[in-house]
Structure 1
Amino acid sequence: MRALTANRLADGEVVFWSAGQWVERFAEAQLFQDGDPEAEAAEAHGKNQPTVVVEPYLIDLMEAEGIWAPVSYRERIRALGPTNLAHGKQEEGGAFVEALLATQGAARSSGRVNLIKRK
């Protein structure tokens, strides 16, 4: 599974693609099967929004604690907000945040690696 992520240009907030719009919560992100042409189309659409988001790319996901979570540690940090527990999305808590925090592994997301290679 994969999800599309970027940073909103107006304020730098991490955002995720969901049914034609950008949302702030990873829990609301649209999930794509590997190789799904709709994922590539969403990524291309995001790249055609240079005044809305910066550097949209697909991230790899794994199932953990009954939810889909980013494979890479970097992407889990982005999904959770700042690492300071008293701020951002982590402060909200809940089962989804707890599951993301409990996810293990530090593999790189192939989407980010491909983005780096293209530069």
Structure 2
Amino acid sequence: MKALTGNRLVDGEVVFWRNGQWAERFADADLFADDDPAAEAAEAHAKNQPTVIVEPYLIDLVQSDGLWAPLSYRERIRALGPTNLNHGKQAEGGAAIEALLHAHGAARSTGRIDLIKRK
């Protein structure tokens, strides 16, 4: 599974693609199958929004506590907010946050690797 992420240009907030718009919570993100052409279409659409979003890319997901979470540690931190447990999105709690906190995997997302290679 994959999700589309990027940073909102006006404030740098990490955002996730949901139904043609950007949502601030990973739990709200649209999830795409690995071979879903809709994922590439969403990424292409997002890349055509240079005044809204910065460097959108697809991230790999893994199951955690029955929910989905980013595979890479970097992407889990981006989804949770600051690593201080009393701040950021993780301070809100809930099942989606618990799944993010308990996810395992340290691999880089293939979308991020592709982004690094392009530079």
Please give the TM-score of this superposition, normalised by the length of structure 2: 0.97
Aligned AA (1:76): R
- Kindly state the Cα deviation for residue 46 of structure 1 after the two structures are TM-superposed: 0.5
One-letter amino acid of the counterpart of residue 39, structure 1: A
The equivalent of 2:118 in structure 1 is 118
What's 2:31 paired with? Answer: 31
Match of 1:101 in 2: 101
SS at match of 1:111: helix
Taking the aligned partners of 1:39 and 1:18, their CA distance within structure 2 comes to: 11
Whole-angstrom CA distance in 2 between matches of 1:95 and 1:40: 28
- For 1:52-104, what per-residue CA distance to the aligned partner results, in whole angstroms no more than 9, with x for missing partners? 00000000001111001100000000010111112110110112111110112
> What are the within-5 Å matches in structure 2 for residues 5-16 of structure 1?
5-16=5-16
The question of whether the paired residues in 1 share the 8 Å contact of 2:80 and 2:88 is answered with: yes
Aligned to 1:2: 2
- For the residue of structure 1 that corresponds to 2:27, the secondary structure is helix
Equivalent position of 2:62 in the other structure: 62
The whole-number CA distance in structure 2 between the counterparts of 1:50 and 1:75 is 21
The count of corresponding residues between Structure 1 and Structure 2 is 119
Where does residue 77 of structure 1 map in the other structure? Answer: 77
Structure 1 length-normalised TM: 0.97
Give ranges in structure 2 of 5+ residues lacking alignment.
none
Q: Secondary structure at the match of 1:15?
A: strand
1:21 counterpart residue number? 21
Secondary structure (helix, strand or coil) at the match of 1:58 reads: strand
User: What secondary structure, in the 3-state scheme, does the structure 2 residue paired with 1:22 have?
Assistant: strand
- % identical aligned pairs: 76
Which stretch of structure 1 is more off in the superposition, 73-82 or 90-99? 90-99
**Cα contact 2:62–2:103 (8 A) shared by 1:** no
How many Å apart are 1:7 and its aligned residue? 0.1
